[in-house]
Amino acid sequence: MASLPKGLSAILAKAPSDTVILSSLRTPICRSYRGQLKDAYPEELLSVVLRATLDANPNLPPDQINDVAVGVVLSELGGSKAARMAMNHVGFPNTTSLCTVNRACSSSLQGMVTIAGEIRSEMINVGIAAGMESMTRNYGSRAIPMDLWPELKESSVQDARDCIMAMGLTSENVAERYDVGRKEQDEFAVESHRRAAKAQSEGHFEQEIVPVNTRFQEVDKQGNKIGEEQRITVTTDDGIRANATVEGLAKLKAAFKADGASTAGNSSQVSDGAAATLLMRRSTATALGLTSSIIGKFVAATTAGCKPDEMGIGPALAIPKLLSQLEISTQDVDRWELNEAFASQAIYCVRELGLEKDWERGKVNPDGGAIALGHPLGATGARMTSTLIHGLKRSEGQVGVVSMCVGTGMGMAGLFVRE
């Protein structure tokens, strides 16, 4: 297996062994329960991005795709049977295998690592890293296990008990321990919406989004049906609030503790969506005559653990570790996609990483983040990758990083190059 490249010039250099990207697509990301994808199934959304991947790469025979790794957190049976059914349903042959991957919020980035690792070890030549989630259908327990070994709930080890702490309370811990105030959280959230609204109005997401034709049943606030079920085509993210203001968010009550600072307005949205990225060895792309279709490459990724009760600091640990492994600095990165699980932890990570100026200049989440766009757990890593790759093309940047905090206490980060 090839070793990691060291230094910026090595990262940018092209080699036959590179893991390259030929397409990176996603569905719209929509609000759970009220959004336009609330009646869609996660595997339905997965089928859309898998079919779109085939359509976006017409010169790649489907039987050349060896494996698919799908990030998913909440689906029944880990989503493996439904995901395989969806894959077969849209035209993949039985020779293409599939697995699902669960590293909570970084599941589809972990899927990227899975496929890249298989390519680098010559287990496969071509694969797809995908993610799917319907939080509308599967978020009933708030991602807390219902049938858990009682001894763990009463463990003498505090960190063990904290693994099932509500994510909102971990956000409050970060805010309190690292002095992140309510006003700056609200300001950060408003800026996320402003950037996302601007990006949407300027068509920045059009190259990464594939439309979803699905059913939709309008309901009132009590959940009662209004009218007949419709067929709709969803083409845009529906959680962006262009009119969000700091004054408006300041009126919202704390969502997780009475005297807290994290609210529904400065936390990531509960969302539905799917995404998929096609990867292959560069030499395979050359052999198949697909070199002109390469849009980027996956370089490396890493994880770093932290205390479960402040899981939001994870990116501030994973990113330095990744950059150190590759022997580059934050100055070498042209674009950052930092998942906004909560404004508290996103602000902390920006500060801790020394990216305040990059945030102000629009190098960090230039098109908004999960506060505005949403956070469909298993699909988030692949969604962020799609936004990163297409965004680097628009800005003519080369190096980008995707990173997120992960429930139970960790961070993950991946580095990509645009071609």
The pLDDT of residue 141: 78
Tell me the two tokens of residue 145: 């296990």
Q: Which of 225, 194, 410 is nearest to 302 (CA)?
A: 410
The model carries a pTM of 0.97
pLDDT band, very low/low/confident/very high, at 234 (cuts 50, 70, 90): very high
The pLDDT of residue 142: 76
Instruction: Kindly state the average pLDDT of the residues 239-244.
Output: 97
The pLDDT of residue 395: 96
Inter-helix orientation angle 380-395/107-120, to 10°? 80
pLDDT band, very low/low/confident/very high, at 221 (cuts 50, 70, 90): confident
Which of 28-42, 106-120, 136-150 is the least confident region?
Answer: 136-150
Give the mean pLDDT of the chain: 97
User: 59, 293 in Cβ contact below 8 A?
Assistant: yes
The pLDDT of residue 196: 98
pLDDT at residue 2 tops 80? no
The pLDDT of residue 360: 97
Instruction: Kindly state the average pLDDT of the residues 116-129.
Output: 98
The pLDDT of residue 356: 98
Catalytic residue among 30, 105, 163, 306: 105
Give the pLDDT confidence of 36-84 residue by residue, as tens digits.
999 999 999 999 999 999 999 999 999 999 999 999 999 999 999 999 9
User: 129, 111 in Cβ contact below 8 A?
Assistant: yes
Burial string for 110-121 (b: 16+ CB within 10 Å, else e) reads: bbbbbbbbbbbe
CA 210 to CA 199: how far, in whole Å? Answer: 16
pLDDT band, very low/low/confident/very high, at 263 (cuts 50, 70, 90): very high
Residue 400's φ and ψ, nearest 5 degrees, are -140, 150
User: 175, 347 in Cβ contact below 8 A?
Assistant: no
Give the SS3 label for residue 129: strand
Catalytic residue among 30, 163, 349, 405: 405
> What type of residue sits at position 413?
A
pLDDT band, very low/low/confident/very high, at 3 (cuts 50, 70, 90): confident
**Angle at CA of residue 84, ends 286 and 275, nearest 5°:** 60
Catalytic residue among 193, 204, 375, 390: 375
Q: Are strands 212-216 and 230-234 parallel, antiparallel or unpaired?
A: antiparallel
The pLDDT of residue 316: 98
Residue located via tokens 């779109």: 52
| Catalytic status, residue 306 | no
| Catalytic status, residue 105 | yes
pLDDT at residue 105 tops 80? yes
CA 121 to CA 236: how far, in whole Å? Answer: 38
Instruction: Kindly state the average pLDDT of the residues 197-210.
Output: 98
Report the number of secondary-structure helices (H) and strands (E) in the chain: 16, 12
pLDDT band, very low/low/confident/very high, at 1 (cuts 50, 70, 90): low
CA 270 to CA 419: how far, in whole Å? Answer: 33
